[in-house]
Every structure is written in structure tokens, then in C-alpha cells.
Amino acid sequence: MTDPRLKAVRSVSDIPKHLRGTPFADLLQYHNLDRDFKKYDKAGLLVCMCMDNRKQLRLPDNFAYIIRTGGGNIRYSEFKVSFAVGIGDVRHVVMIAHDNCGMSNLFSKKEAFIKGLMKNAGWSRRKAMDYFVTYAPIFEIGNEIDFVVAEARRLNFKYPKVKVLPMYYRIADGKLYLLKK
């Protein structure tokens, strides 16, 4: 089932007028519409997205800085955002959430997480449990769309001269979606 908040971008005309001529529109055209790559000497966009290996963006070299973290959660990576803005002169940031994110509903994965650390890292059950209980509440994102919208709003407030836009990636079709307000 598709969330009614998602707006597909299947042609240039699906990109809202206020986004045209921005790195957001270029991103949508490169990734969704297979636009030919232009040459870039400098990044004009910061992409913040999940580290999930099921999603890759189609982008030209030097087009964007990219921060990949679990759930696309950059609450503990803001210095990197500030670096891209302050040193890289980035004025556009896209926050990309995706469906079936492992950082959503983390507590349902508690036992698998603990067993995986015991088996793969050689940790004791106690060490793995303590680690999960300490960090899962920090990295839990809840509903992916709600999270990315709230994070974009928070960053727009924190960096008032930077435009921050939430987007959504559907794993089934590998496309980016705009989020309706």
C-alpha cells in the first residue's frame, strides 16, 4: 500500500515549480528520470540518507555531499552538516527516508540484534543486551515519513538560509518521492 503523502515524480512536469532550477529538481531528474549527467566542479547539495545497502542514488560525480547513517538520522552527525554548509557552501539539503527501515521499530529487533552480536562479534549476552538497551532509544526513528519530515523541519529552523527538503525512497521501485504537505 502506498502512503497518500507520497507524490511520484515520473516526468519534469511532476516537479513543483518552486523546486525547478534547484539541486532538488536535478536530483529527481538524475535519479528518477535518467537525465544525462552534467559535469560538476563543486557539490551544491547535501544528501542525508540511510546506510541501507538496498538503495543507491543515480548521481553524477561532484554533485552532492552524502552522509549515510542508520535511518538517515543525523542528530549525531550535525557537525558534518555544518561542514558542508560552512566550508562546502551547500545551501540545499535533502533528507531521504525509505520504507522498511531497520531503524524503525528497533525494539522488535532486540533479540535478533543481541544474538547477532553474540554470534558475529563474540559478545556476551549481557554486553549485547546492555548495548542495545543503551543505544536503541537514541537511534529509533519511529515512522520513517514522520521522522524525515520532522528532521527536515528541525534543520530548516537550525540553518535558516539553507533549504532542507524531505524525500522518500521506495525500495520496490527504486524511485524518490516528494512528500505532500
Residue 64 forms beta bridges with which residues?
45
Residue 157 maps to a domain? yes
Model pLDDT for residues 56-69, shown as the tens digit of each residue: 999 999 999 999 99
pTM of the model: 0.93
45 and 132 in a single domain? The answer is no
Residue 127 maps to a domain? yes
Residue 174 binned pLDDT confidence (cut-offs 50, 70, 90) = very high
Model pLDDT for residues 140-162, shown as the tens digit of each residue: 999 999 999 999 999 999 999 99
85 and 147 in a single domain? The answer is yes
The CATH number that applies at residue 88 is 3.40.1050.10
Query: Which pLDDT score is estimated for 180?
Result: 85
Query: Which pLDDT score is estimated for 3?
Result: 84
Structurally, the chain folds into a number of domains equal to: 2
Model pLDDT for residues 78-98, shown as the tens digit of each residue: 999 999 999 999 999 999 999
Amino acid occupying residue 81: V
47 and 130 in a single domain? The answer is no
Please give the residue range of the domain that contains residue 121: 105-140
How far is residue 47's CA from residue 23's CA, in Å, rounded to a whole number? 10
Residue 1 maps to a domain? no
- C-alpha distances (whole Å) from 128 to each of 16, 120, 148 are 47, 11, 28
168 close to 177: Cβ distance less than 8 angstroms: yes
Query: Which pLDDT score is estimated for 76?
Result: 87
